[in-house]
Amino acid sequence: MIELRGVSKRYGDVTALRNVSLTVRRGEVLTVVGPNGSGKTTFLKILAALERPTGGEVYFDGVKVNEGNAAQFRRRSTMVFQRTVVLRGSVRDNVAYGLRMRGLPPSEVDRRIGESLDVVGLRGLEGRDARGLSGGEQQRLSIARAVALGCELLLLDEPTANLDPETLSVVKETISGLNRETETTIVMATHNLLQAQELSERLVLLDRGEVVEAGRPSALLLEPSREMARFARSENVFTGISRAVEGISHIDVGGGVEVKAAFSRMGRVAVHVRPEDIILSKGRLESSARNEFKGRVTAVEDLGPVVRLRVDAGRVFTVQITGRSFAEMGLSMGSEVYVTFKASAVQLI
């Protein structure tokens, strides 16, 4: 469907993509992973014809994309950005906007609005003020807008960042169901390796603007390369020896940290905890969560609506919270905090 040949993209002195050659196959779900600053969002923008490469060539269905035909190819794709943009007005107004811009008749607009809201589980909220929706509902609305356009190529930038478990489940089912039922080609950028493994047919690792490796998720993750392992370790993937106690695994992951998981396994295991599933607090919490560790903030990364922190509690945990929570807690480098998560949040990989 799309072929990139030696594509590079520079912003002044910064090189976001460097000599990327890759194909996107029609009807597949392709996931791009990599650390922040690796070029994932720029890669998606190139595919969407929202950005022109400063070097190399892009082909869509065998036709070279250039300044003269870029607008034509933009109409065949749509991109959902990580930072959700909600227009003024109702939920219905938001979904209808792009359809009306494309000149569709009212009856077709109504049909597509209903179908797309059904897909993301927002049917019945047509009259709600879109800006009054929760963060998760706004993300689902942004996907509904994209689905309604009926484009061949859907590009998703961190589509499940900072979502609650219920909304996460809906969004994941939306992605897999859309691909399965309509054969929409989907390219997704994410930090979440488990998500990549669950949803995608192919996985691409970007690092410093270069494609480090590409292949089936099972092949890349079961025996990870040094580069993939380094990336995985940065996102709460831990290995250790597990012992089963009354149906709960107690996993010694080193550094004096024992992680408790809601499965029963013996021997060496590898587990993952999503940054979004970890609760960060200044003091101990009264909760049923089996995992609670005291540590200090060692890194802070401001991503706009969310903040990602690293907390050294014997092992380093990556935690994601809202910018508002970060400000309200008055956190900074060196702050003493607690990380808390449920045994059910620990996934075996």
Q: Are residues 22 and 47 in the same domain?
A: yes
- Burial bucket for residue 170 (CB in 10 Å: 0-12, 13-18, 19+): buried
Q: Are residues 302 and 183 in the same domain?
A: no
Q: Are residues 221 and 245 in the same domain?
A: no
How many CA atoms lie within 13 Å of 271's alpha carbon, on the beta-carbon side? 27
Q: Are residues 80 and 209 in the same domain?
A: yes
Q: Are residues 258 and 140 in the same domain?
A: no
Q: Which residue has the tokens 């909304």?
A: 167
Last residue within a domain, chosen from 231, 249, 269: 231
Q: Are residues 81 and 98 in the same domain?
A: yes
Instruction: Check residue 323 and give its pLDDT.
Output: 84
Instruction: Check residue 162 and give its pLDDT.
Output: 56
Last residue within a domain, chosen from 231, 257, 281: 231
Q: Are residues 293 and 217 in the same domain?
A: no
d(CA 309, CA 299): 5
Under a CB-based contact definition with an 8 Å cutoff, are residues 118 and 181 in contact? no
Q: Are residues 164 and 279 in the same domain?
A: no
Instruction: Check residue 299 and give its pLDDT.
Output: 83
Q: Which residues of the chain have pLDDT under 50?
A: none
Instruction: Check residue 151 and give its pLDDT.
Output: 83
Last residue within a domain, chosen from 231, 254, 279: 231
For residue 318, the enclosing domain spans 238-348
Instruction: Check residue 134 and give its pLDDT.
Output: 81
Instruction: Check residue 234 and give its pLDDT.
Output: 59
Q: Are residues 107 and 191 in the same domain?
A: yes
DSSP designation for 345:
G
Under a CB-based contact definition with an 8 Å cutoff, are residues 9 and 51 in contact? yes
pTM: 0.66
Instruction: Check residue 176 and give its pLDDT.
Output: 81
Q: Quick one: tokens of 298? A: 């060692």
CA angle 58, 64, 69 (to 5 degrees): 105
Q: How far is CA 162 from its chain centroid?
A: 9
Q: Are residues 185 and 310 in the same domain?
A: no
Q: Are residues 252 and 188 in the same domain?
A: no
Structural domain count, the chain: 2
Give the domain CATH number at 110. Answer: 3.40.50.300
Give the domain CATH number at 298. Answer: 2.40.50.100
Q: Are residues 10 and 31 in the same domain?
A: yes
Query: Which one, of 35, 274, 42, 262, lies nearest residue 172 by Cα?
Result: 274
d(CA 297, CA 336): 7
Instruction: Check residue 102 and give its pLDDT.
Output: 85
